[in-house]
Structure formats: C-alpha cells, structure tokens
Structure 1
C-alpha cells in the first residue's frame, strides 16, 4: 500500500480557482498566505473551488452569475470586485460580456434591492473603465430616456399626418452584439394576432440583425381605417413603414396574412425586399374558400369576433397542441376576440381576395416557403404552388405543425429561418 502525498481535493480546487480567477490573482493570494490564514486558504480551495465549482451540474458562467448576485445582495464588495474582474477578463469559455454582467445586476436590483444594485453598478463601472480597453468595450454616453427593453425593442408609430395611410405600431430591436446589423429582418403577423407573436424568434434574430415587427392596420395598436382592405393596401402600408424607417432592402418574414403581404410587397416594391420567408400562406384561394371568407365577415359583423373564435383556434392549432398548451391557446384566443372588428373584417377581405399566383414568376428575391404538415387553412399544396411559381424558391415542411407553425414548433421554425438567412 502506498501513500499519495497529493491532496486531490486541494489540487482540483486550485485548478478550478485558477481557471475562474486567473493565475495572477491565485498566485498573489497563495503568496500572501501565512500561518494565520493558510488553513482558511486551504478550506476555501477545497470546499468553495472543488466541492462547489467542481460540480458539473451548472456551467461556470452560471456560477459566476450566482456569485455576483449573492455578493451584490450581501454587499460583499471586495468579493464582488474580484469576481467582476475575473468575469470580464477570464477564459473565453467562462467569460461574461459587459452586457451579460449588466443583466445580472439589473436582475439583482429586483431580488436584492435597488440600493445594492446601484452600488454594484458603481463598482462594475469603475472596473469597466479600467479593463474596457483590454476587452474592446467603450463606455459611450447614452440617454436613459432612450433606453429600451432588449426583449421588446424600441416602440414607435408611423407618421399619421399622411391621411392616406393608417399609423402603424412597430418595434425595432437593434443587434445585441453591438455590431452593424447583418440584415434588417421584418416580421409580419397573421390575421387576428399582433407583433408579440414573434417575440421569441425576434429576440433570437436580433443577436446580429436589426429586427422590426409591426401591427397590421386594424390590429394591435395600429389604426383601423374603415372599409374593406385589399392586399395592395397592406403592402403599401408596409412599404411606407420601411421607407419611414429607412431600412433599405429587408428580409421579409411573414406568416399567413403576413406572407401574403410579403408577396405583394415584393411585386409592388421590389427594391424594398432582399429576401422572403413565406410561412403558412397562399397566393390565392379556390372559390369555396373565398366564399368562406365572405361568410366569416358576415358572421363577425352580426355576432362579433367571439362567434368565430373557437373555430379560428381550431385552424390555428392542431388538437394535440390545444390539449397540451391550453394557456397558449387561450392567450391567442384573447388576442383574436380583442381585435378591432372593423380592422379584422377589413383584413378578412384582403386575405380572402388575395391573388398573386399568376404574378409569382416576377418575384426575384430569394424565397423560403414554410408549410405546416397539419395546416388545414393553407395546406401544403398551396405552399407548393408558391414554390413552383417563384424562381428558385425552396420548401420546408414542419412536422406536427398546423397554421401558427412558429408557435407550435418554434425550434424547427427558427432553425429553418436562420439556416436560410445565413446563406444570404
């Protein structure tokens, strides 16, 4: 039997400590050890850095965030400063960006209190002024009044002085990576929905792109002019929005009605469209379906949107999704029934009379068509018509997806969109 002189708990802890705090700090700490504090150094190395940091159940970046939150809550500013510096300058795999650090401190304000977070920001700013040049981060002036929630974006409305066009509500998310946008992506929602249907995808795409989402006329917080709308009206609304925001050519991503608007936009205003993603949509309905849209308008005018709400949910979501995600379905139902009746019926007319099939060959933008395997409102055959008509269009069919495929299959939808955009 041999005796191993190595204390493996200590060595593992020391290795973790160096990986998280850096060699310079650890060497300085060990070099300053003496007969009074050596036992304590041994203790924290074995227990904090091996027993806790050595557990694989959480990523090191997550543990960094926990330590920063706790030291903020407890006001342990020497430890806080140590871990802020290590988080900003550490190994790339475990490093926190300044924006990630900011999110930790903002969340700490809610759970640990604003005074604690205020002090934490003061300490973090002092360290950022020191290490900013090393990590390529500049503390530029910024007006608090112009700050916007990164998960929502900056909100605005189009100029309502043009009486020919309704004022549209929109949001703009700038790229979170702080660089020039790779693309400007515009997200256009389905009838009876609003721009919030895109929140999950919008936040993913905003990693490196400028993302604009908006409410169609008659929906959400946009104006509802009287009358029966046409798809040309909706496309011209979109063109006015893009010109007001000076977007240049955009990647247009529209689902259902939003996809119909995208087709018309690409035909009427081709210079504004860089590429198209047309999801769960069509270029035209057979006569029976056109008659059904007319009947829907009549039913809503007589009994309100509540009269059709359950039937709409049956088309939006398949049976299995409605059974397993009742709260999500209820949220979309509330949105449908709260939509302005004038706006809803006006858009029903635009959707029911959509007719771009004979003109699809004129669309020159790269196009991805997304279909839902279970979509009864715009079945795969309608998507195939788009693919056949638009030069070099590609088709992606999402399994176990009905009409609102981005809600039922968000991961698959996002993957299809991002794989398409990255090739542009």
Structure 2
C-alpha cells in the first residue's frame, strides 16, 4: 500500500490563496510561520481557502465582495485592507474596480452602518492613493452636491418653454462617451420606462432620457400638438445640452418624434432606432385616435386605461407581471389630461411616410411580434422606405417591447450602437 505525502486539501487551498491574495503576501505568511502559528496557517489554508474559496458555486469576484462586506461589518480593518489590495491588484478575471469597491462600501453603509462604511472609505482611499498609478486610477476632485445617482442620472429642466424634464447619465467607464444616446418614451409613459436600457447603455455612452411635453415632470401646454412640435422640443433639448449628433432611440410616440427630428433637424441625429412605431395611420385608425381624445375629454384617462394596457402588453405578460402593468397604468392615469390629449393628436396625425427616403442616417427598426398598435407591417414600411434600414422583430413582444422583452430589446439596441 502506498501513501501520498501531499495534503491535497492544503495544496488546493494554497493555490486558491495565491490566486486571490497574490504570491508575495502568501509567501510572507508562510515564511513567517513558526511553532506557535503554523497549525493556524494550515487550518485557514485548508478550510477557508479550500473548503470555501475552492467551491465552484460563486466566482472569486463575488467571494471578494462578500469578504469585504463582512470585514466592514465586523470592523476587521487589517483583513479589510488585505482584501482591498488583493481585489485591486489581483488576477484580472477576479479583480474589483475602484467603482465596484465603492458600490460595496455604499451598500455596507445601509446594512452595516454609516460609521463602518466611513472607516472603510478612509482605508480604501489610502490604498487607492498608494496603488492608483499602478492600476491607472486617479482620484479627481468632486463636489458632493453635484453627485448624482448613477442608476437615475442627473436631473434637469430646459430653460426654454415648454420646459422639458430630463436626466443625464454619464459613462460609468469614466472615459469619454462613445456616443450620446437619447431615449424617447411612448405615449402615457415617462422617462423611467427606459431605466433598464439606460443603465445598460451608460456603461460607455452618455445617456439622455426626457419626458415629452404633457408627460411626467415636463410642462403641459394647452391645445393640440403636432409631431413637428414634439420634434422641435427635442431639438431645443439637444441644443441646450450641446449634445452634438445623437443616437436617437424612440419607442412608439418616441419613434415618431425621432423620424420627424431626423427630417427637420438632420444635423442633430447620428443614427435612429425606431421601435414599435409607424410613419402614419390609415383613416380608420385616425378616427380611433379622435375617439380616444373625445373619451378622455369627457371621462378622463381612467376610462381608457384598461384598453391601453391591453394594447401595451399581451395577455401572458399581464398575467405574469401584474405589478409591472399596474405601475404603467398608474403612470398613464396620472398623466396630465391636457398633455395626453395634445400628444394623442400628434400621434394620430403622424405622417412621415412620403418623406422617409430623406432620412440619411443608419436606422434600426424594431417591431414586436405581437404588437397590435403598430404591427410588423408598419415596421416593414419604415424599413423599406428608409435607405439601408434594418428590421428586427422581437419575439413574444407586444407594443412596449422594451418592457416585455428587455434583454432581447437591449441586445438589439446595444449591438446596433456598438457597430456605429
């Protein structure tokens, strides 16, 4: 009978320990071992680094985050500093960026207490000052009053009238934006419908989302609006923000505005994504829009809310995601009636079909397979009339495709934007 002299639990643990903490630290620990602490070094190598870090259930990057959180909560600052350094300087596939560590510290403020997070920031800042140049990270001055939630963006309103409420997300990469992207919402919605896509695109793009006139926190002037009014609103916003040419992503009414913007203000548009939208309605459909305006005038938006939700979301989604549908219904019925009526007129009278050949920018047309409001046939008209436009149909999606199928929608948009 043979006996293997290797302790494989120890060897596997040692390999994980080196991978996570680096050879230099592990070598110091082993070289400094003595008759008093050698058993302890053996214990933690076998149990912490093999039994836990050796489990495949979580990636090492996730385990780093867990260790940082626990050491903050327990106030184990020597261990915390060790793992911060290892996270910043470790192997690339398990490294944490300074911004990722910042998010761990921010969350720890809620779950472990502000004093603990405050101390964690102090220790981390000292380490960043030491290794910043090595990892290509500079601590630039920043004003706390100017800080904005990265998942919501910096809010503002246009100086010109009617005032438009908007948000701006700067690239999380910290680099110059690849593009400026503008997100333009559907009738009866607001800029929050884009939160998921906005945060995806904000990795390397500057992302602007805004509320159309009559919606959200934007002004709602009296009277009936035309699509040209909404396009001119968008042009005012872009000029005030000094965006230069933008990638316009519009859904339904937002896509109609994008068409008109590209035709009326071509210098402001770099590319178009036209989702769940149309360039014009037949006479019968226009009559339906007139009836909707009359109903809202007489009975309020509540009278049409259920029918609108039936158009926006297909039956299966409404059954599975009732809370999401309820949120969009609340947004619809709290929309300013005058603003809603004004925009209904603009949507019902949209008419760009004959001019689509003048659109001279890369264009992606997205349609929902189950969309009854702007069916695939309407998307085909857009794709055929706009030079070199490309059509993609999103499966199992109705009118608000970006909400019903967010992953598929984001994949199509992100691929298009990356290729520009």
Q: Normalized against structure 2, the TM-score is what? A: 1.00
Q: CA deviation at 1:421?
A: 1.0
Match of 2:398 in 1: 402
Match of 2:92 in 1: 92
Matched, 1:248 2:250: no
Q: CA deviation at 1:346?
A: 0.4
Match of 2:190 in 1: 194
Q: In the alignment, which of 282, 285, 300 is matched to residue 286 of structure 1?
A: 282
Match of 1:387 in 2: 383
Distance 1:421 1:78 in 2: 44
Match of 2:265 in 1: 269
Deviations 1:161-190 (A, max 9, x none): x4xx31000000000001000000000000
Indicate the SS of the match to 1:172.
strand
Match of 2:75 in 1: 75
Q: Give ranges in structure 1 of 5+ residues lacking alignment.
A: none
Q: CA deviation at 1:317?
A: 0.3
Distance 1:7 1:80 in 2: 29
Indicate the SS of the match to 2:95.
coil
Deviations 1:321-377 (A, max 9, x none): 001100000000000000000000000000000000000000001100000000000
Distance 1:133 1:388 in 2: 52
Indicate the SS of the match to 2:271.
strand
Matched, 1:136 2:132: no
Q: Post-superposition, which runs of at least 4 consecutive aligned residues in structure 1 deviate over 4 A?
A: none
Deviations 1:275-325 (A, max 9, x none): 000000000000011000000000001110000000000000000000110
Distance 2:419 2:89 in 1: 33
Indicate the SS of the match to 2:94.
coil
Matched, 1:157 2:157: yes
Match of 1:47 in 2: 47
Matched, 1:363 2:367: no
Match of 1:185 in 2: 181
Indicate the SS of the match to 1:150.
coil
Indicate the SS of the match to 1:308.
helix
Q: In the alignment, which of 226, 232, 251 is matched to residue 230 of structure 1?
A: 226
Match of 2:210 in 1: 214
Q: CA deviation at 1:423?
A: 1.2
Q: How many residue pairs align between the two structures?
A: 420
Q: In the alignment, which of 315, 326, 332 is matched to residue 328 of structure 2?
A: 332
Indicate the SS of the match to 1:254.
strand
Indicate the SS of the match to 2:173.
coil
Distance 1:421 1:20 in 2: 36
Distance 2:228 2:104 in 1: 46
Q: Give ranges in structure 2 of 5+ residues lacking alignment.
A: none
Distance 2:59 2:305 in 1: 44
Matched, 1:6 2:1: no
Matched, 1:415 2:399: no
Q: How does 1:9-20 map to 2 (within 5 A)?
A: 9-20=9-20
Deviations 1:90-123 (A, max 9, x none): 0110000000000000000000000000000000
Q: CA deviation at 1:128?
A: 0.4
Distance 1:326 1:93 in 2: 39
Q: Normalized against structure 1, the TM-score is what? A: 0.99
Distance 1:360 1:404 in 2: 23
Distance 2:12 2:151 in 1: 39
Distance 2:401 2:200 in 1: 17
Q: In the alignment, which of 332, 336, 340 is matched to residue 344 of structure 1?
A: 340
Deviations 1:57-85 (A, max 9, x none): 01111100000000000000000000000
Distance 1:71 1:415 in 2: 37
Matched, 1:169 2:169: no
Indicate the SS of the match to 1:198.
helix
Indicate the SS of the match to 2:230.
helix
Indicate the SS of the match to 2:163.
coil
